[in-house]
Amino acid sequence: MSKRIESSDVERRLAEARARVHEAGLPGLLSEVDRGPFGTTPLNLGMLDAVAEACAVAQAVRGVGIEDPLPVAFVLAEEAAERLGSLGSGGPAPEVRGALPGEQYADLSRGGSAEVFSIVLQDCASFVRFYQRHPDSGKRLSRDQEALGCLRSYFRLLSNTLRRLGPEGSALAVETPRLRFDGWKVFPAAFDEPNDLLPVKLEDVVGNEDYVKAATRLARDVAGFDLARGENPKKVRNQVLFVLGSPGCGKTVTAHAVLRDFLALCERHKLPAKARVIRRTDWASSYQNQSATRLLEIFREEVFNAPGVCGVYWPDIDTAFSARGDADIRQEEKAILGTLFGILDGTVGPKNGKWFLLCDANTVRMDEAVMSRLTQSPLEVRGPVAPMDFVRLLRDVKLRGKARWLPATEPEWLGIGELCVAEKLSGRSADSIAGRILTEIEDFAEPENYFELPFEEKQRLIGELARPVPAARIRALVSQHVRFEKDAEERSSQERFRQRVSEIHLHLSAQQAALGALAGKKAAAPGGGA
């Protein structure tokens, strides 16, 4: 049975792992390659973190009873290569097929697993040092991006070497937060985190055909990503789909259905995948510059560097940002806009076909620079618009399984759909009406023994006691909903009018008081009464 390494197991060992990386001299070597403006570069720090995290994972593997030095070194090499492969912006890393001289690592199998870390890290430092001072100036390291390629190549070569040195039937069976090891085979770890998606399927979506078609095409393209090669055979140039639609037209339901279909497709084909819904509460902060930083962390850690493919949904993206031309835009909002620009144009995250973003808005109120980074025009979604759309949404989706208590004929259902169209109802309104119909179906007094029955018996009793809702009653419920919406809108309009009158009254009163005070000052001034 596979042993599991939790993130907490890795975090507890990070301090010791960082000390090992420091002792091997890697920080100084990387700084010599590329000092940047302040002695090192952000990419250098990212590389050091990646190697330290890989060491911490390998130490955690020892902690679950795996003492054989070759498998421990193999875990270290694979974890480091995988983490380093997610850094930088130079496109997919080249495939490394070669190996290091096996005789140089024969002593690795004879030593203890505790010695693995110093042996591997010192050898890694020697590898970098060799290329830093390579006699061929064309192969000499001079930038942090080149050092990244060198480091990743070393750990890939080491992994290939250990596969050749190790016995065929390795008993290594462990799952880390990023990888799953089965002998000398390595797979991305499965995602097991909750995705917070609505329980909807593509067949539950009514209307929005263009949105469904475009989004599922994008999702399927991303699902074709080849994790082994680190690239997508399709050149997915546009990874962002922007949708425009009024409230209640089904933007959210459609996006959630597409993401669920994407996850199901990946699960069928054994491809690790996750879905992420971006909510303002996830990243908005009252602290200066923290909102932009947190937003960037979410995309880098959970989307761009995810072990598998990832689909993202960002609802109401227009409410998250101000336009740069707004007179009262804060520095914080400028930073957030800058982060979004980087996400959309690929300067922050890789445009590698490994992730996609669905985002929507009620109106186009976004910054022109944001719109220019969306490489296609927004899709307009309208939700259900035809009478049969509303019939399908009400009867076949929202009230699925309740046909025996809905005795309306087909012409009567069509009339209900026509009424919904005439009243310009939205999909959200249809959902609300369906809820009222369902309440009336199950509107009965439960007998005393109901509360003691098992679940299946309760369902059977509900079926016996449920009340039919005829077509006339459904039409009445539609009309009641329309009256309620109109009354609510009228009350809201009246309240806005009263508030505006109050604001104008306050403004005029303040103006009158100011003029009176000014007149008093003039009268009090010398000669003011003349």
pLDDT digits (tens, 9 = 90+) for 308-341: 899 999 998 877 665 445 544 566 677 777 777 7
Residue 289 pLDDT: 60
Confidence of residue 259 (pLDDT cuts 50, 70, 90): very high
Intra-chain end-to-end CA distance of the chain, in Å: 103
Q: What is the pLDDT of residue 118?
A: 87
Q: How many CB atoms lie within 10 A of CB 247?
A: 12
Return the beta strands (E) in 141-195 as ranges.
173-175, 179-182, 185-188
Instruction: List beta partners, residue 173.
Output: 182
Q: Residue 199's Cα: distance from chain center in Å?
A: 18
Burial class (CB in 10 A: 0-12, 13-18, 19+), 404: exposed
Choice among 69-83, 188-202, 213-227, 432-446 with the minimum mean pLDDT: 188-202
HSE of 79, CA atoms in CB hemisphere, 13 A: 30
What sections of 229-350 are H helices per DSSP?
251-268, 280-283, 290-297, 331-345
Helix ranges restricted to H, 199-275:
209-223, 251-268
Which token pair is 498? 């009263």
Answer whether residue 436 shows pLDDT above 70.
yes
Give the closest residue to 211 by CA, choosing from 435, 391, 427, 420.
427
The pLDDT of 30-38, averaged and rounded, is 89
User: Which CATH code, of 3.50.50.60, 3.40.50.300, 3.10.20.340, 3.20.190.10, is assigned to 202-380?
Assistant: 3.40.50.300
In the chain, the largest separation of any two C-alpha atoms, in whole Å, equals 111
Q: What is the pLDDT of residue 166?
A: 77
List, for residues 291-305, the tens digit of each pLDDT value: 777 788 888 878 888
DSSP-derived secondary structure for 29-85: HHHHH---TTSS-HHHHHHHHHHHHHHHHHHHHHHTT---HHHHHHHHHHHHHHHHH
Amino acid of residue 490? E
DSSP 8-class letter at 454: -
Contact assessment for residue 275 and residue 263, using Cβ atoms and an 8 Å cutoff: yes
Q: Are 388 and 410 in contact (CB under 8 A)?
A: no
424: region left, alpha or beta (phi > 0 left; psi from -120 to 50 alpha): left
Q: Count of H helices and E strands in the chain?
A: 19, 9
- Tens digit of pLDDT for each residue in 115-171? 888 889 999 999 999 998 888 888 888 888 899 989 999 999 998 888 888 777 677
Give the highest mean pLDDT range of 10-14, 81-85, 90-94: 10-14
Question: What gap in Å lies between CA 523 and CA 519, rounded to an integer?
Answer: 6
Task: Flag whether pLDDT at 258 surpasses 90.
Answer: yes
What H or E segment, with its residue span, contains residue 269? none
> Can you read off the two tokens belonging to residue 342?
């980087």
Angle at 295 between CA 292 and CA 298, to 5 degrees: 150
Q: Quick check: helix, strand or coil at residue 231?
A: strand
pLDDT above 90: percentage of residues in the chain: 33
| Distances from the Cα of 321 to the Cα of 114, 250, 316, 337, 362, angstroms | 51, 23, 10, 7, 14
Asked if pLDDT for residue 192 goes beyond 60, the answer is no
Portion of the chain with pLDDT greater than 70, in percent: 85
Alpha-carbon distance of 451 to 459, in angstroms, equals: 12
| E strand spans, 304-426 | 309-314, 355-361, 379-380
Give the burial class of 224: count Cβ atoms within 10 A of its Cβ; 0-12 exposed, 13-18 middle, 19 or more buried: middle
